[in-house]
Amino acid sequence: MCGIVGLHLRDASLEPRLGSLLTGMLGQMVDRGPDSAGVAVYGNPVFSPAGESSVSVLDAPSDLVTAVRDALGVTVGALDLAPTTVLHAPVPATLLADTVRTLAPTATVIGFGDDVTVLKGTGDPRDLAETFGLPAASGRQGVGHTRMATESAVTAAGSHPFAVGPDQCLVHNGSFSNHLSIKRELEDEGVVFDSENDTEVGARFVAKHLAEGADLEKALRLLGERFDGFYTLLVSTSDSFAVVRDPIACKPAIVAECDAYVAMASEFRALAGLPGITDARIFEPEPDRVYVWRR
């Protein structure tokens, strides 16, 4: 059992409150996932300064900023949000991520892009939100997850979101039953994995199809055709926010949609504190249907 929350803002006047709203939503899901948590924030000028890409790293060596600066020949900024370190620099996101992987092979890149910052850790999700500075963070889209580990160890790397493609994030409640066979297929095609988590297999499957030209709806339909199990997924990119459930809708999900935002959570209590919630259209996503909202 895990908890999912997500907020896709349509009203720019709410952007200064994104982090505080997401923090409140995450706090309501602690009992669904008390051992670790992660968030992804889109459009925050501190985490991801305009004109720069950013990369989120676990187990970053102390000299990583200097090493990356020397390798790329540009100014590199950093935020220490232990256990996550966020680096940003005026270079393409893929170049920055690849440079970090080369210079720090024992570290783990947990997110990268021009627009997104991913933060993960173990412990009480409410404490982690404070460590990340989430309550004060602005932005236009956010995704969060509280984890109760079942099929892999309690580690920051095993927590969600899994963000394996540029500006992409995936969070998951449930389990895939055939992920190991799909993982072997992806590895045969050259895909490299960072964890034993079944969710990472789903994230890399989606990222592969997006890289090959599929849109997000198509990539998630393909996932539904290949993956067995019980699941609710929330998937985000820089311009999209998508929800899909397995064919029998085994895992809970609730959506609130209004002029100001689209919000999703595992349970309504995570949505109850949002502004204007009484005027929102509240619905439970249908099984095996992909819902996508775009900027």
Using DSSP, state whether 93 is helix, strand or coil. Answer: helix
Spatial separation of the C-alpha atoms in residues 206 and 201, rounded to whole Å: 9
Q: Tokens 């449930």 — which residue?
A: 174
Q: Are residues 260 and 182 in the same domain?
A: yes
Q: Which of 35, 78, 26 is nearest to 57 (CA)?
A: 78
Which residues are within 8 A (CB) of 268 and not within 5 positions of it... i.e. 6 or more apart? 254, 282
**Banded model confidence at residue 156, pLDDT cuts 50, 70, 90:** confident
* 211 and 231 inside one domain: yes
CATH of the domain at 101: 3.30.70
Eight-class DSSP state of 185: H
Known catalytic residue at 2:
yes
Domain final residue, candidates 93, 114, 135: 114
- Considering the chain, what percentage of its residues have pLDDT values greater than 90? 92
Residues 166 and 214 in one domain: yes
Domain limit, last residue, from 72, 95, 114: 114
Boundary residue ending a domain (114, 136, 170): 114
In this structure, are 230 and 89 located in the same domain? no
Residues 32, 146: one domain? yes
Does the structure show a pLDDT above 70 at 151?
A: no
Same domain, 195 and 279: yes
pLDDT tops 90 at residue 16: yes
Q: Could you give the CA distance from residue 143 to residue 167 in angstroms, rounded to a whole number? A: 12
- Catalytic residue, from 2, 169, 250, 258: name it: 2
- 174 — pLDDT class (breaks 50, 70, 90): very high
Longest pairwise C-alpha distance within the chain: 53
Are 131 and 205 contained in the same domain? yes
Query: Do 287 and 177 fall within a single domain?
Result: yes
Residue 270: name the closest of 169, 173, 133 by CA.
Answer: 173
Query: 38 pLDDT exceeds 70?
Result: yes
Q: Are residues 185 and 54 in the same domain?
A: no
What average pLDDT score do residues 262-285 get? 98
Taking alpha carbons only, the member of 9, 16, 79, 19 closest to residue 49 is 79
Whether 192 and 270 map to the same domain: the answer is yes
Which residues neighbour 174 within 8 Å (Cβ) at sequence distance 6 or greater? 2, 229, 230, 231, 232, 246, 250, 251
Whether the upstream peptide bond of residue 16 has omega within 30° of 0, thus cis, is no
What is the per-residue pLDDT across 196-245, written as a single tens digit (0 to 9) for each? 889 999 999 999 999 999 999 999 999 999 999 999 999 999 999 999 99
Q: What angle do CA 136, 156, 5 make, to 5 degrees?
A: 50
Q: What is the mean pLDDT of residues 170-182?
A: 95
Say what the pLDDT of residue 148 is: 76
Residues 273 and 269: their CA atoms lie apart, in Å, by 8
155 shares a domain with 92: no
Rounded to 5 degrees, φ, ψ at 113 are 160, -175
User: What is the chain's Cα-based Rg?
Assistant: 18
- Residue 22 is part of which domain span? 3-44+122-294
Same-domain check for residues 161 and 212 = yes
We report the CATH number of the domain holding residue 254 as 3.60.20.10
- Number of domains present in the structure of the chain: 2
In this predicted structure, the answer to whether residue 158 has a pLDDT above a threshold of 90 is no
pTM of the model: 0.96
Span 74-114, pLDDT tens digits: 999 999 998 999 999 999 999 999 999 999 999 999 999 99
